[in-house]
Structure 1
């Protein structure tokens, strides 16, 4: 057997071990990393469905010794098969609807050809059973017979083309046209974080472009030849390879339709992972699937997985004659059809009785499908995508605020919902319009040829399936159960208090916690702090004049900050020209401390103290000038701040003594500091609020985004970084005059 770690392969192995006691099974298994194939099978046998078989055999080792052989290898380089085989079942294959075209060909065509070459080497009378799909029929209509697909295709030419596409598309991805477009988008998005961050984003975008082009190439070639997608196209070509083999050897082709959870065996509702219908069922139950592009009376051909594997066992027991492959549809639409409207009614009835909970708002509201047709659904979705693009532009350019973050969070949910709808509309649109009825006469005749005892043990007559019972009492409860458990865990985590930090063991490397200042620890910025320092020494009229001058510069400063933060800081710090450096320290000690402490987040202080109690080194790394950090000296082991250049009299020149630490220069300084102090960066922490701090956060193993701007918020959500909301002290009061009553 191949593909035993997949859904059908696992179910087939269970059925063979539990119901066919005289059979020994050899499994072709690919090592995964450092895990050998034997270890993978041992882990597979620990799953609950194998418990009875393992116990009856005296344990996993005894079961494997008596009935299971493991053949380490890969279909790409199939090893020699063991002697004494009676049959080979090929369950492995790329089951993604939209694989990169070269991967689809390599798995579904080349892999099949390589395996069949080994089958022929192993002996002349082996029965080869190929697990395909009923949807190799492609975009045809009406009744589909159990026989060869009418292929007007040059197999060798298509195979050569498909395998060559990665090289061709990789070359195109490095053209000036593609790279220039991706680089400009990356630099526009990441210029504040630094050139290398933008370069990394450019390369990531190029790789994504390659993947998308490979997927598009396969999909378009498939549709141009009459198939729904690259998956069905390459599976059909794989069947062509099997048909050539069948001219001289015994071969059967089993074509299941849409395989879903078990009806009875190993237990009702057994399923591994999400298949074709599950994402749609779950999305509908959460109220996120407002409509579906199917006709109400179109058949959705579903078959339980235990019917599929029972049919495979029966096919194994009845090898055909040499000269022509035997074909078997395992499907339901011909004799027990289920329409999309019936599917919708049963799923809705289930969620009416067992709804998902929408947080504190009660039961999720279920959409009412009217089946308006694919074109109407496409129009609605396209309108939603255009509205999202406008909203995304506006929120990305909005000033930072709690409201902007909340809107970004909701917009992110809308983006994921639109992407989900777009993906499944594109993938399933062809299937929802496929007016196919798979004739299953051969499969029914095979079932009727079995003894009554075998018919009861290996049931695969799909006409007995009661769709109401199957969907409402078996399938929907099975696929929603893990999601409900996950929702409960998430709710418990939200209620639980934030766990503290563990004390650092003496024998472990040092750990550091790096903190940004403005916007992270305190709700302040370099312009506001400059005004607090400057305005205290001016009279009322002079204060108004200085305020007016600074306000007039704000638009230009905002643009500078968005382009390059170092230029923005240099512009602000030019206004310190003429100040005495010692006076700045004195002002900070005498007057600025209260201002800083009023802006300092209590949650931030608690977190810093937690790090200190855990034995972590606390480091403040900021673009603010050093005098402004003096009120925070007692909290940190080290403060790295901007240094104002002074002349021989101690008067500030308006310049810095070195480049300010911003963007990627922060990450470089952190790496140097960590090397000097023996700090384990993978175990260390970083806290920052701005997208320009992306390199700082990415440099550690535990990044935390603190009340992030919209761009950083999205990056943090995408990469599963922790996001916290450290609010300023409740006593913090702002006024139009930052000098207050001084």
Structure 2
């Protein structure tokens, strides 16, 4: 490994980035434009009906975001011409051969692309199984196949997740996943099972909603059969397996971030989009839907800000270009600067006590420190006592009183559904005690100390004060960018 000057490395490079409208992809695009406008070309792949629709999506879903306000201020009126010169927006779909691209673009891409960053993914934990397998597993294989046709390719960097580890506890090492490691798992058979179910649903003239429900349940069932907690981590794990099996001589880097949170410093603190793992609990608690604290207080919540993940991507590209190795790199904090569960919990509680959310009726949501439920069994008992039994009783009373308590009954039912789904999907992140080894990231950080760019591409979690970051940056960012949605 030789760490090149990162800014110089990015200069005059042609980069293909998939999933261009995703949360992390936006941070990558912003970073490159802001620090290295002399990049040769950014090819941005996103799903759209045609090139015009793709450009419209890019303008509205990427460039209009608050994230780009620093770039807009830096370049002013020159930004439009810079974007036109450096960025090519492509209408495509990674679930298709040749990424669904028009033939007119293929030869240019095969002759120009030097780096591929695969960020395309569906991150819903209970996504439809057919959608998740199509994007996270088959899609990854299609991007790899495409990369083999790029004559100037110097690196294929795939963004995965640390939680491909399933429900393992203890120290999780940076080791590749292999197709033969899981007894009985056959990706082709998983696809056949999906197609058989879809065929039966079509034969039964099932509604779209029912089909979606069946496909979601199927994904969770198959994931748990093989040791993964949800469809997302299961299909991402299979994606890694496929890449490792068929990489051949492609320079492959797989980066595994932990729970990605809002930006720490760049381009400014606190920008976030969508609900990440921990944010579902922040939203639930702040809005009054969650009145307890599910999770083992002895665990570590492995958080890593989005800009640090992006900086790690940049450093990895510069340090491992042209290498034919199959490298795995965890990017998280549990190994070097862990955030204890109790600290995260207390930060959330204290923030909303001091800054209560204003509900639709104009009244502040009153929050207080709720009971700590250290095991899944304890949570189920709590849910039974505080949600399920009261709902059953209220349902009987409501029916007997000609639906007089409809509003209360529906409100309590929604809260119960929210809490049960929250813990069902996210419990492995709060009840399992594990540390993600980040030896490869630590080697990169040590090498980067010798470069003047160390601060520009900082991804050292030791620089984070978690209590301060959560109260002053992350939770306010979630309130600003997520709550109002």
Change (3 A) 1:82 1:38: farther
Distance between the aligned counterparts of 1:340 and 1:76, measured in 2? Answer: 38
Cα shift readout 1:609-655 (whole Å, capped 9, x = no counterpart) = xxxxxxxxxxxxxxxxxxxxxxxxxxxxxxxxxxxxxxxxxxxxxxx
Structure 2 SS opposite 1:317: helix
Asked whether the equivalents of residues 346 and 471 of structure 1 are also in contact (C-alpha less than 8 Å), the reply is yes
Cα shift at 1:172: 4.9
Deviates more, 1:76-85 or 1:307-316: 76-85
Change (3 A) 1:420 1:333: same
Aligned to 2:33: 17
Aligned to 1:379: 381
Which residue of the other structure, out of 417, 424, 436, is the alignment partner of 2:415? 417
Cα shift at 1:100: 1.7
Aligned to 2:12: none
Q: Residues 436-515 of structure 1: matches in 2 within 5 Å?
A: 436-450=434-448, 451-481=450-480
Cα shift at 1:82: 4.5
Q: Residues 586-605 of structure 1: matches in 2 within 5 Å?
A: none
Aligned to 2:354: 353
Change (3 A) 1:88 1:167: closer
Structure 1 SS opposite 2:116: strand
Cα shift at 1:284: 1.1
Aligned to 2:395: 392
Cα shift at 1:151: 5.0
Asked whether the equivalents of residues 101 and 162 of structure 1 are also in contact (C-alpha less than 8 Å), the reply is no
Asked whether the equivalents of residues 102 and 164 of structure 1 are also in contact (C-alpha less than 8 Å), the reply is no
Cα shift at 1:380: 2.1
Change (3 A) 1:352 1:71: same
Cα shift readout 1:53-79 (whole Å, capped 9, x = no counterpart) = 346274454122221112221112213
Distance between the aligned counterparts of 2:364 and 2:123, measured in 1? Answer: 37
Asked whether the equivalents of residues 281 and 290 of structure 2 are also in contact (C-alpha less than 8 Å), the reply is yes
Q: Residues 593-632 of structure 1: matches in 2 within 5 Å?
A: none
Higher relative contact order at CA 8 Å, sep ≥6: structure 1 or structure 2? 2
Cα shift at 1:111: 0.7
Asked whether the equivalents of residues 259 and 304 of structure 2 are also in contact (C-alpha less than 8 Å), the reply is yes
Distance between the aligned counterparts of 2:394 and 2:227, measured in 1? Answer: 39
Structure 1 SS opposite 2:319: coil
Q: Residues 278-357 of structure 1: matches in 2 within 5 Å?
A: 278-319=279-320, 322-357=323-358
Cα shift readout 1:490-537 (whole Å, capped 9, x = no counterpart) = xxxxxxxxxxxxxxxxxxxxxxxxxxxxxxxxxxxxxxxxxxxxxxxx
Deviates more, 1:236-245 or 1:309-318: 236-245
Distance between the aligned counterparts of 2:37 and 2:362, measured in 1? Answer: 53
Cα shift at 1:102: 1.7
Distance between the aligned counterparts of 2:411 and 2:137, measured in 1? Answer: 39
1:63 matches 2:82? yes
Structure 1 SS opposite 2:452: helix
Asked whether the equivalents of residues 105 and 159 of structure 1 are also in contact (C-alpha less than 8 Å), the reply is no
Cα shift at 1:124: 6.1
> What is the TM-score of this pair, normalised by structure 1?
0.58
Cα shift at 1:291: 1.7
| Unpaired runs of at least 5, structure 1 | 180-202, 487-742
Asked whether the equivalents of residues 284 and 366 of structure 1 are also in contact (C-alpha less than 8 Å), the reply is no
Structure 1 SS opposite 2:174: coil
1:433 matches 2:431? yes
1:161 matches 2:189? yes
Deviates more, 1:363-372 or 1:230-239: 363-372
Deviates more, 1:370-379 or 1:308-317: 370-379
Asked whether the equivalents of residues 297 and 339 of structure 1 are also in contact (C-alpha less than 8 Å), the reply is yes
1:53 matches 2:51? no
Asked whether the equivalents of residues 385 and 418 of structure 1 are also in contact (C-alpha less than 8 Å), the reply is yes
Aligned to 1:237: 238
Change (3 A) 1:349 1:32: farther
Distance between the aligned counterparts of 2:200 and 2:351, measured in 1? Answer: 50
Structure 2 SS opposite 1:121: coil
Cα shift at 1:252: 0.5
Change (3 A) 1:82 1:39: farther
Asked whether the equivalents of residues 142 and 437 of structure 1 are also in contact (C-alpha less than 8 Å), the reply is yes
Cα shift readout 1:394-441 (whole Å, capped 9, x = no counterpart) = 4245336xxx1xx21111110110010011111012222222211111
Cα shift readout 1:299-318 (whole Å, capped 9, x = no counterpart) = 11110000000111111112
Aligned to 1:112: 140
Cα shift at 1:170: 4.1
Which residue of the other structure, out of 44, 55, 58, is the alignment partner of 1:38? 55
Deviates more, 1:270-279 or 1:2-11: 270-279
Distance between the aligned counterparts of 2:471 and 2:70, measured in 1? Answer: 28
Q: Residues 635-650 of structure 1: matches in 2 within 5 Å?
A: none
Change (3 A) 1:361 1:63: closer
Structure 1 SS opposite 2:320: coil
Distance between the aligned counterparts of 1:271 and 1:381, measured in 2? Answer: 30
Cα shift at 1:273: 2.1
Runs of 4+ deviating beyond 6 Å: 154-157, 483-486
Distance between the aligned counterparts of 2:482 and 2:45, measured in 1? Answer: 33
Cα shift readout 1:270-312 (whole Å, capped 9, x = no counterpart) = 1112222222112212332122331101111110000000111
Aligned to 1:500: none
Cα shift at 1:123: 1.7
Distance between the aligned counterparts of 1:100 and 1:447, measured in 2? Answer: 38
Distance between the aligned counterparts of 1:437 and 1:310, measured in 2? Answer: 21
> Larger Cα Rg: Structure 1 or Structure 2?
1
Cα shift at 1:152: 3.8
Structure 2 SS opposite 1:326: strand
1:221 matches 2:222? yes
Distance between the aligned counterparts of 2:442 and 2:228, measured in 1? Answer: 27
Structure 1 SS opposite 2:146: helix
Distance between the aligned counterparts of 2:249 and 2:142, measured in 1? Answer: 16
Distance between the aligned counterparts of 2:20 and 2:482, measured in 1? Answer: 26
Distance between the aligned counterparts of 1:485 and 1:40, measured in 2? Answer: 21
Asked whether the equivalents of residues 14 and 50 of structure 1 are also in contact (C-alpha less than 8 Å), the reply is yes
Structure 1 SS opposite 2:44: strand
Cα shift at 1:366: 1.9
Cα shift at 1:49: 2.9
Asked whether the equivalents of residues 8 and 91 of structure 1 are also in contact (C-alpha less than 8 Å), the reply is yes
Deviates more, 1:360-369 or 1:292-301: 360-369
